Homo-oligomer: A and B are copies of this chain.
């Protein structure tokens, strides 16, 4: 039973718009004016709802990872470690060049290096990337236990590798690489996971 005047905008819709601005310009490159403009609200509404610029970023990151969480679940549901890597990297090649979104990945575009006062933004993004990596690692641990990966393989290293390739592809996408170019990278990258798979 909330009191007072009700909010006139939908927070999630507004977050989607904010997400896109951060995605395209990065945390420091995005201005409050651009954000409020895209969200269709005025600064006081933004601050009342999200606290400050960094709070808005975190809310956008939460929404981003939530939206991608479902997809990541599909990825790790693949039958083998090799298929997980392929589904992940091919999917990323498509997603990062989807014209419906800015190119690349918000968890990279958001801000890799930041100035004084925003030092924890890069860490915030890194923490979210680490979540994906952990999910991959757990999947590869299982693959090793199932005999799908070689007994000598290192699931954590494999997960870190797939994560690194994803990030690299994201940077390439943001600087103009097209879908076909990214798919070729994914295709090569999968072969390293294949090399760690048990013979059949």
Contact = CB atoms under 8 A, between A and B. Distances in A.
A29 B116 contact: yes
A113 interface: yes
Interface stretch (A47-55, A66-74, A165-173): A165-173
A165 B160 CA distance: 11
Given A118-B29, A171-B167, A176-B126, A191 B191 contact: yes
For this chain, the copies found in one complex come to 2
Q: Give chain A's interface secondary structure class.
A: helix
A109 interface: yes
A165 B26 CA distance: 22
B175 A123 contact: yes
Interface of A: 23-26, 28-31, 34, 104, 108-116, 118, 122-123, 125-126, 129, 154, 156-158, 160-161, 163-169, 171-172, 174-177, 181, 184-185, 187-196
